[in-house]
Structure 1
Amino acid sequence: MNLAGKLRHFAPAPPLRQPHRLPGFPAALFFIAMSTRLATLLLTAGILAAVPAAWAQTTKKTTTAKATAAKTAAAKAAATKAAAAKTAAAKAAATKAAAAKAAAAATPAPAPVAPLTEAEASAGIKDALNKGVTKAVAFASEKDGFNTNDDIHIPFPEDMVLMKSTLGRLPGMSTVMSTFETQLNRAAEAAAPKAKDIFLAALANISLTDALSLVTSSSTDAATQFLRKSTEAQLVAAFKPDITTAISQVGAEAAYTKMTTQYNRIPLMTPVQTDLSAYTTQKAVDGIFILMAQEEAKIRRNPAARTTDLLKRVFGTK
């Protein structure tokens, strides 16, 4: 580059261009015009800057309004649905009630049950007692019918309990006493069958008035207790000879003699003199009546135990 070019490169920049001012236009007016123009530009810039914020706020309001409208519509729809369901349920209930009422009106009233007669009561109570006697005697006559049934098991005689605890410490005596108790129950089981004929004969003597009273009694063993009053003494008299024989046959008498012989030798001890036949006979009779009472209670309480039309009629009519 030559010298002239270099000089041009470093020449001072041209002065800033001044705004065109019309000839003869006053400087003050020109300044005012320029200021007004600048203010307009600044105002325009501010407005443009505020547009996005205003737009965002408008959009937010629109979104909120839409959400509120949707929520209101959903709530209204739910309320309408619930009201419709409630109306439908009420209508269905009313229809069902009307149908039930119509069915009840169409169904004829059951014929009144005729009152129980004395003859029916007599036949019914005899039927119930007959079944009770048959089952009770059959159960008591089985092996272990007394021995393994806690309700009627014949225990060691009470006036022999001290002897039992005293001799129980001696060698071999514990087994003897345990066997003795079992033998008493065996004797009762052997005598039990004789009760059936005595009971059945007593049934024929139940009057019509007594039968009706027994059937309508609130006691679950009224008939059994009635029968006991009229047959217990006869049963004891009939049982005792058989019990005495059975006690000897099963070995209870021999065991009793062995125990009392040893015990009565002990100084200062009151001798044991238990009447085994009387004790076992009474316990056997008690056991038969306990079993009969249980059978009677089943018939009175449980409809399933009323196995004949007569029992259903007599004990199902209250």
Structure 2
Amino acid sequence: MKRSTFAILTSLVVVTACTTAQLNQTMSEVNKALKTEQPLTTGEVAEGLKEALINGISNGSDLASQLDGYFKNPKIKIPFPPDVKKVEDKLRQIGLGSEVDKFILTLNRGAEDAAKEAKPIFISAIKQMTIQDAWGILKGTDNAATEYLKRTTSAQLREKFQPVMASSLSKVNATKYYSDIVTRYNKIPFVEKVNPDLNDYATTKAMDGLFLLIADEEKKIRENPLARTTELLKRVFGSQQ
């Protein structure tokens, strides 16, 4: 029965933080188990994980940034802001459903446009990952690397991504359509006025969608040999009897 290198590595790493000596000892055991002619080093394992993440981010960002990458993907499609769902419901009731649909389309177009700019931000964060970070990920779940990125980059990503998202929403007229919708709603007699932050909502949902796609790609590389596109990935994640 085949076992992935990843599974072997995971079973050999102790739960507590690894010291340099522990890493070296573990790598010796791993290479003995794998019977490789060219033993893996701790640095190669870290680089393999970085490579896997960069591949996942590139694939995920490319999927998200293409036409209908968000809009026709039910897993990440951005809906009308839920905290003002009453706005959507009321406008549909009075025959303005087409205006709502147009806004939802442009909202997702904005996310697709902004996703193009997210890739270098993610990749920069990955390149700063240490060997210790990599070994921590080896002890984790199928989406451990994605969770690591969420934990370590979300604040910085939001700061950099938000103006990109604002620009993208403006470029595809989502901001204008949303303003028009809210203005129309607020003119309806006896309704409670609303004016939520569209950019913050769109940024959060766009980032959530990217992380979801990246997690999918990470899982593929861990489990599917065909998703390992370089020699280093094949060596780090390769199968062994």
TM over 0.5: yes
Give the root-mean-square deviation of aligned CA atoms.
1.9
Q: Does 1:166 align with 2:87?
A: no
| Aligned pair partner of 2:69 in 145, 167, 171 | 145
Q: Does 1:199 align with 2:101?
A: no
Q: Does 1:235 align with 2:160?
A: no
Structure-2 separation of matches of 1:131 and 1:250: 29
AA aligned to 1:145 is: G
- The number of residues matched between the two structures is 206
1:125: how far off?
0.4
More moved, 220-229 vs 240-249:
240-249
* Contact 1:137–1:196 (CA under 8 A) maintained in structure 2: yes
Identify the structure with bigger relative contact order (alpha carbons < 8 Å, sequence gap 6+): 2
Q: Residue 78 of structure 2 aligns to a residue in which SS?
A: coil
1:317: how far off?
6.3
1:254-288 CA distance string (max 9 Å, x none): 22222212222334422111111111111111111
Structure-1 separation of matches of 2:55 and 2:206: 19
Q: Does 1:244 align with 2:166?
A: yes
Match of 2:34 in 1: 113
Structure-2 separation of matches of 1:132 and 1:199: 10
1:130: how far off?
0.9
TM-score normalised over the length of structure 2: 0.79
AA aligned to 2:110 is: A
Larger radius of gyration: 1
Structure-1 separation of matches of 2:73 and 2:33: 45
TM-score normalised over the length of structure 1: 0.61
Q: Does 1:127 align with 2:51?
A: yes
Structure-2 separation of matches of 1:231 and 1:183: 27
1:101-126 CA distance string (max 9 Å, x none): xxxxxxxxxx7425854212201101
Q: Aligned runs of 1:270-281 on 2, under 5 Å?
A: 270-281=192-203
Q: Does 1:211 align with 2:137?
A: no
Displacement over 4 Å in runs of 4+: none
Structure-1 separation of matches of 2:189 and 2:150: 43
Structure 2: tracts of 5 or more residues without a match: 1-31
| Aligned pair partner of 1:225 in 147, 157, 163 | 147
AA aligned to 1:245 is: S
Structure-1 separation of matches of 2:144 and 2:185: 44
AA aligned to 1:209 is: Q
| Aligned pair partner of 2:214 in 269, 279, 292 | 292
AA aligned to 1:162 is: K
* Contact 1:306–1:312 (CA under 8 A) maintained in structure 2: yes
